Amino acid sequence: MALSLGLALFSCQKKNQEPEAPTGWQIFETPTEASFRGLSPVTGDIAWVSGSEGTWMKTLDGGATWSHGVIGGLDSVDFRSIQGFDAETAVAVSAGQPAVIYKTTNGGETWELKHQEVEEAFLDGITFSDENRGYVFGDPVEGKWMILQTLDQGESWTPIDSLPQAANGEAGFAASASSLLAEGENLYLGSGGTEASLHISTDQGKTWSRNPSPLIQGKASQGIFALTSTRNGELILVGGDYVAPEETQKNAGIFRTTDNQWIEYQSGPLGYRSGVQYFPRFNWVITVGTNGSDYSNDYGLTWSSFSQEDFHAVKLSLTEGTIWASGGKGKVAKLTF
């Protein structure tokens, strides 16, 4: 009886010590004014970012200092996607032309070209389901989505066997490189433009289903910009219209994968949102955009603003203890709570 009571008290104390909400962002001084849409934190100390003017940047001390450079000498290319594996290894993907994938294995000192796509290609994002298997997706070419796969941590890339169909005018967004998510055998792709749909494959891209979303759509600037998994059977999607950043209607969605149903949220984020990330440490969902940041503690049903700082991307570290964000003018930050 005494043991049970002690455990109960300990549980209550532990719960009471957990923060109820994020308090804001710790913004770091960085050595560049580049716009960072590529973001990949590895731990609370190690993080990679990439962005405009071919810029890559890395910290090994939690944001206190940064090393940086230009990927492959391509100082006119926007690298909006990056996947870091450790302090030495990362894969970076361009948006626009040339459509290229580079890799470093020496901490960014040199970058090696691993893949180049056709002139029609526009690559939007990168995701890995494990240390070796990863995917890069791009806007549709000749009516089909472009999805490349690697089985050797980015050393080589090939198209998946079955590319999903795209509607006329349907496209992806490279605003945060996070509208494609790989989770085990599953692939989830969010789209926008004339149609905003959630494309799902449960067999590593062999077959696909299309699920029309309730998010705003119909124009090139509208649709799903990012998605994240709660690992509890829900996908949380955010977006909106990037030319109307204050608009709060139809800018989020909840999709239940257990029965393929959309769940209506009660109150959404306070504007267009380009990045979203589930934080399992506190069961929060964090979303960011050009007019601020919001969080949800009920799996996306309700949202509350906690910062007016503008960001493009938000990501969870591989060790799952920290949330990082990146944005324009060299801005990189870590969530505080």
Q: For residue range 128-162, what is the model confidence (pLDDT) as tens digits?
A: 999 999 999 999 999 999 999 999 999 999 999 99
Confidence check: pLDDT of 6 > 60: no
| Predicted local distance difference test score (pLDDT) of residue 222 | 98
Confidence check: pLDDT of 27 > 80: yes
Confidence check: pLDDT of 2 > 90: no
How many other CB atoms are there within 10 angstroms of residue 302's CB atom?
Answer: 14
Q: Residues 140, 145, 151, 153: what is their CA dihedral angle, to the nearest 10 degrees?
A: 40
How many other CB atoms are there within 10 angstroms of residue 2's CB atom?
Answer: 6
Domain boundaries of the chain, sorted by first residue: 25-336
Query: Mean per-residue pLDDT for 46-58?
Result: 98
Average pLDDT, the chain: 95
Q: Does the predicted model carry a pTM greater than 0.85?
A: yes
| Predicted local distance difference test score (pLDDT) of residue 17 | 81
| Predicted local distance difference test score (pLDDT) of residue 16 | 58
Tens digit of each residue's pLDDT (9 = 90 or more) over 203-212: 999 999 999 9
Percent of the chain with pLDDT over 70: 95
Confidence check: pLDDT of 278 > 70: yes
With beta carbons less than 8 A apart as the criterion, state whether 11 and 65 touch: no
CATH number among 3.30.1360.40, 3.40.50.720, 1.20.990.10, 2.130.10.10, domain 25-336: 2.130.10.10
Read off the tokens for 52. 């405009």
Distance between CA atoms of residues 136 and 79, nearest Å: 13
Distance between CA atoms of residues 172 and 123, nearest Å: 9
Query: Mean per-residue pLDDT for 68-93?
Result: 98
| Predicted local distance difference test score (pLDDT) of residue 8 | 44
Angle at 132 between CA 128 and CA 135, to 5 degrees: 35
Percent of the chain with pLDDT over 90: 94
Q: Which amino acid is at 74?
A: L
Confidence check: pLDDT of 10 > 50: no
Tens digit of each residue's pLDDT (9 = 90 or more) over 167-219: 999 999 999 999 999 999 999 999 999 999 999 999 999 999 999 999 999 99
Confidence check: pLDDT of 116 > 60: yes
With cut-offs at 50, 70 and 90, classify the pLDDT of residue 12.
very low
Q: Measured on CA atoms in the order 323, 126, 327, 109, is the torsion positive or negative? A: positive
User: Which residues make Cβ contacts (< 8 Å) with residue 123, sequence separation at least 6?
Assistant: 81, 93, 94, 95, 99, 101, 117, 136, 137, 138, 146, 174
